[in-house]
Amino acid sequence: MKSLNTNPTNLRRRALVMTALAMIVVYILWNIPALDWLLYPLHLFTTFIHEAGHSLAAIITGGRVEEFVVSLDSSGYARTAGGIRAIVIPAGYLGSAVFGSLLFYFTNRFPNLVKPLAFLLGGGMMVFTALFARPDETGLPLSLVLGVGFGALLMFLGAKVPGWITMLALNVLAVSTALGAFIDLQYLVTFIGATRGDTVNDAVAFSQSVTPLVPASLIAIIWAGMALLMFGISLYYGAWKPLRQEIDTAYNSIALR
Q: Which domain holds residue 156?
A: 8-245
Q: What percent of the chain has pLDDT over 90?
A: 55
**Local structure of 213: helix, strand or coil:** coil
Number of domains the chain contains: 1
Tell me the pLDDT band of 98, cut-offs 50, 70 and 90: very high
For the segment 151-206, what is each residue's pLDDT rounded down to a tens digit? 999 999 999 999 889 999 999 999 999 988 988 888 888 877 766 666 778 999 99
- Please tell me the distance from the alpha carbon of residue 113 to that of residue 109, in angstroms, as a whole number: 9
- Whether 140 shows a pLDDT value over 60: the answer reads yes
Predicted structure pTM score: 0.87
Beta-strand pair 76-81/64-70: antiparallel
User: Looking at the domain assignment, is residue 152 inside a domain?
Assistant: yes
- Please tell me the distance from the alpha carbon of residue 118 to that of residue 231, in angstroms, as a whole number: 20
User: Looking at the domain assignment, is residue 62 inside a domain?
Assistant: yes
User: Looking at the domain assignment, is residue 3 inside a domain?
Assistant: no
User: Looking at the domain assignment, is residue 257 inside a domain?
Assistant: no
User: What is the pLDDT, as a whole number, of residue 65?
Assistant: 93
For the segment 200-228, what is each residue's pLDDT rounded down to a tens digit? 789 999 999 999 999 999 999 999 999 99
What number is the average pLDDT over the span 78-96? 95
